[in-house]
Structure 1
């Protein structure tokens, strides 16, 4: 697949993202929505049925437990690119840049309240403590006299669930847990 260059660069440099509109970056600076310079490629076989499955199953609490937290009502929120560069290539034209990515990326969790990662995994329907393989390739034509760059970022499926508590998980806390599963690669490509 040949991609066309956009006018801005999107990359991490000394902790600051350049060329990515601030409005597309999450409040914590860890994710961004793909823009015009971004080619999103999902790793073959990475998407499971957990996207559409709603989860409100509750694992039984031990007999001596007085209050346990559980995750219910899982929802799929969409996809975002992570802001950590996982691989990069660049070069002077005339050339074709090829970037092949085959990496393991850790799942990410954000919690508004204390809840065991095992309970989040059960509610999400996939293991939030695992690393997942992401792989794909991008090719980019760099014309004579130009300098081209391709940077690869992990692509995540985003999920949210409600945290409930009580021995039977019957009381809502009003808090949420977010989980991000690596499912592919975002390639940002541009010319200087």
Structure 2
């Protein structure tokens, strides 16, 4: 699994361009973005290994990823650290990270579920080496992980499902068993690399162990 995920990160846009149109499908999932000079940027690093710096803005959007509108997975609020964390003073030995949580629209929601109406913004103070996943666990629990460390739910939303296929020729509601090959109803290699499907790359597993043992604040 780790080897497959490493290949995904290296493949990047090349894999996306090589994805065959016959296998195109839409997927519903949480997408991670980094704030950079007032705009959202994509990433190939999962929340379990990415370590934001003091002043960072981490954005999340729950949406149906569509090949024709890739920007639909961007949060609908701008990354503005000062607006979110301006009232939280800097403190030695810690870092401040702003979180933007966009739960998406009713159209993006899984059947029978309703997303929170407002985009949620949180300022979290963390140890210097904390990951994005640790920031989420601190500010917006509960989190739900699926196979291979795939982040399926933030703040308990959605209650069910994990990167479900909602369109295309291989329609399925089965969560991916192997996020690297897309053969079992999971995201294709191109989608994973190009859209940065949120996979913890093994870091989330280690973080969960530390949290259960009381090592995490």
TM, length-normalised to structure 2: 0.26
Q: Which has more radius of gyration? A: 1
Q: Going by fraction, where is helix more abundant, 1 or 2?
A: 2
Question: Does 1 or 2 have the higher relative contact order (CA < 8 Å, sep 6+)?
Answer: 1
Higher strand share: 1
